[in-house]
Structure 1
Amino acid sequence: MAHEKYQDLIEKLHECMEACNHCYDACLKEDDIQKMAECIRLDRECADICGYLEQAISRNSPFISELAAACAKICQACGDECNKHDHQHCQDCAKACYECAEACKQVS
């Protein structure tokens, strides 16, 4: 089963999706929301691709490696953006994104 083979990746994807969703929500509550616009956008992109890849793995998609490559790129971009901000939710998100990007690179 694909989900057993990719168990570590599934865990990283889920952690990243949760971190991005939390960061997204917290960024919407920041005082200078315009400053957070790119972070918010990338949080959504990243959470969506992580969730999609998790689903693709669970159904043994033939495109897992291609999706993992795209996911790695998006996670890296989100991590880089979040890392620019001092908010704890952004720093936590950046860490989860970088870990997920590395796990995706092992598959792609």
Structure 2
Amino acid sequence: MDRLFNNNWFLKLISLVIATMLFLFVNMDDFGNRPGATPIMSTEQIQLDEAELDIYYDDEQYAIASIDDDIDVRVSGTQSALTLFQVTNPSYEVYVDLSEHGTGFIR
């Protein structure tokens, strides 16, 4: 048994198997719920209700008649990326930049 663990090729093979298992564990979403499925990077969505909207515009020349200050935002990505987004300090900024636009009605 000691000769087996001292063999470089055996250790390389075991390392490759462990690395593959870790990769599949991190990158596969709901693999247990789909029998016989191949690893697929599925896209999930989360809803951010009433996110504060910042508006950048030339306030010396223009005025905004009406705009919602709070909006609903939908963020999509893989389940692992969304979980990381929710777990870490979600500091995000939602803004609209109107500094390049002139007068008129913009939709």
TM-score by length of 2: 0.28
Q: Going by fraction, where is helix more abundant, 1 or 2?
A: 1
TM-score by length of 1: 0.27
Q: Going by fraction, where is strand more abundant, 1 or 2?
A: 2
Q: Which has the higher contact order (CA 8 A, sep 6+)?
A: 1
Bigger CA radius of gyration: 2
